[in-house]
Amino acid sequence: MARKKLNIGLIGCGFMGRTHSNAYLKVNKFFDLEYQPVMRAMCDLNAEKLKTFAENWGWETTETDWRALLERKDIDAIDIVCPNNMHHDIAIAAAQAGKMVLCEKPLAMSVGEGKEMVDAVEKAGVANMVWFNYRRVPAIALAKQLIDEGRIGRVFHYRAKYLQDWTISTDLPQGGDALWRLDAKVAGSGVTGDLLAHSIDTATWLIGGIDKVSAMTETFIKERTHQVTGKVEAVKIDDACAFLARFKNGALATFESTRYARGRKNQNDFEINGEHGSIYFNLEDAHQLQYYDNRLDNHVHGWQTILVTDFEHPYMGNWWVPGCVIGYEHTFINALSDFLKGLETGEPVRPSLRDALDTQYVCDAVLESAKTGTWKTIAG
Ligand SMILES: NC(=O)c1ccc[n+]([C@@H]2O[C@H](COP(=O)([O-])OP(=O)(O)OC[C@H]3O[C@@H](n4cnc5c(N)ncnc54)[C@H](O)[C@@H]3O)[C@@H](O)[C@H]2O)c1
């Protein structure tokens, strides 16, 4: 089949640069789509890293200045996969240049920035998506299906954790390559924007919008040497955040995130308790969904573990045979396939930049609540 070509310009050859490059390479091998991404141009500040990266992944050309990339007529879509403080300027310039915008999370450094990005893509009328890839974990998509089918009924509780342990050492510097996440000027916030943005996107996708939040944050290590300046500087990010939330549908929720949970490398889990049943998911067992169905006869009550690998499960019809699991990288391929399908059908993909702005409102309210010690109603 002759497919329509979609020329991609990707900015940032780090961790996410790899997952996205892999998605562009594989998506048409597994999904039957009218569009085919072409790995036209790769951009990174670091010319040496860029050359090796582009050769390894098969990017046709390279640029070290993202503005030069945006001027190119042979690029249809810009994929923003660099640190958070770059998202705003690149997304707006890309939209103004008439390019589609794919952007990594968190959307922006603040709601103010996010609003300007949303205005720009909507004014330009360009297709857009934010890579909240956990929506594309088949087990999480199955949780969404179970909730939408009414299987757990009215939701009473939502409980989410996102835990890591890689910043505990006092010797770890902040800023610069790989450690920009510890520098608030580049990251915007700590675990709130980096990890809880994922948990918030998943929660609001599954059960609806948040009404108000009450949060606390902590920065356990107050000073770190900055990799770029070489000076010891104050740490301004939140190392840990815990917040209470009330959803618009009346559900109560707790969210917790930290990078100080020894032994937890990337534990992203949630439990939902409803009138007729409960659901539990843990990214460390991403191919499973736990489900408790209270409508079964009493003598067979119990949590069941659904192995989410059947052809009937979300996305799994495109992968291997039942019983064979897929992994982290596939969530990006699934997301890209949804984006390309959206171009084909004209049904815009979700989450759009506007959807991600809703999550940004919650993140900003959480940080504000922690600062003021008061409940914050979600604006927007
Ligand atoms: N969806 C997810 O689960 C997920 C996971 C990790 C990171 N992210 C997001 O992806 C983005 C990138 O994170 P990462 O982990 O890949 O970071 P990274 O540090 O691994 O890579 C960032 C790359 O951007 C490049 N860069 C920095 N400034 C640049 C500029 N001005 N022009 C061009 N290139 C520039 C760096 O040289 C580096 O190669 C962040 O917004 C992050 O929050 C999302």
> 123-158 pLDDT, tens per residue?
999 999 999 999 999 999 999 999 999 999 999 999
Ligand 1, atom 12: nearest CA belongs to which residue?
A: 82
Burial of 273 (0-12, 13-18, 19+ CB in 10 A): middle
**Which token pair is 82?**
């660099």
Tokens of 70: 């945006």
Residue showing tokens 């490059």: 21
- The label of the residue with tokens 């949303």 reads 118
**Cβ of residue 10 lying under 6 Å from some atom of ligand 1:** no
User: What average pLDDT does the segment 272-297 reach?
Assistant: 98
Instruction: Using the atom order of ligand 1, give the atom closest to the CA of residue 198.
Output: 3
What mean pLDDT do residues 276-305 have?
98
pLDDT digits (tens, 9 = 90+) for 184-199: 999 999 999 999 999 9
Q: Write the DSSP string, 272-331.
A: EEESSEEEEEEGGGTTEEEEEETTS-GGG-SEEEEE--STTSTTGGGSSSTT----HHHH
- C-alpha 246/C-alpha 252 separation (Å) is 5
**What are 343-352's pLDDT values in tens digits?**
999 999 999 9
Q: Which atom of ligand 1 is nearest to the CA of 53?
A: 39
Average pLDDT over every residue of 247-255 = 98
d(CA 32, CA 50): 31
How far, in Å, CA of 162 to CA of 268, rounded? 4
Q: Find the 91 Cα to ligand 1 centroid distance in Å.
A: 14
Instruction: Indicate whether 341 pLDDT > 80.
Output: yes
| pLDDT score of 212 | 98
The whole-number pLDDT of residue 294 equals 98
Tell me what pLDDT residue 178 has: 86
The 10s digit of each residue's pLDDT in 302-325 is 999 999 999 999 999 999 999 999
The domains found in the chain, sorted by start residue, are 4-133 (3.40.50.720), 136-377 (3.30.360.10)
Helix axis angle, 87-96 to 111-124, nearest 10°: 10
The atom of ligand 1 lying closest to the CA of 106 is 43
pLDDT at residue 25 in the model: 98
CA 98 to ligand 1 center in whole angstroms: 23
- Expressed in angstroms and rounded, the spacing between residue 16 Cα and the centre of ligand 1 is 6
**Average per-residue pLDDT for the chain:** 98
Query: What one-character DSSP code corresponds to residue 164?
Result: -
DSSP 220-277: SS-EEEBTTT-SEEE--S-SEEEEEEEETTS-EEEEEEES--TT-SSEEEEEEEESSE
For the segment 36-42, the average pLDDT, to the nearest whole number, is: 98
- Residue 380 pLDDT: 77
Indicate if ligand 1 lies below 6 Å from the C-beta of 46.
yes
Lowest mean pLDDT of 1-5, 60-64, 304-308, 323-327, name the range: 1-5
Whether residue 1 is predicted with pLDDT greater than 80 in this model: the reply is: no
User: pTM, whole model, 2 decimals?
Assistant: 0.98
Q: Exposed, middle or buried: residue 9 (CB in 10 Å: 0-12, 13-18, 19+)?
A: buried
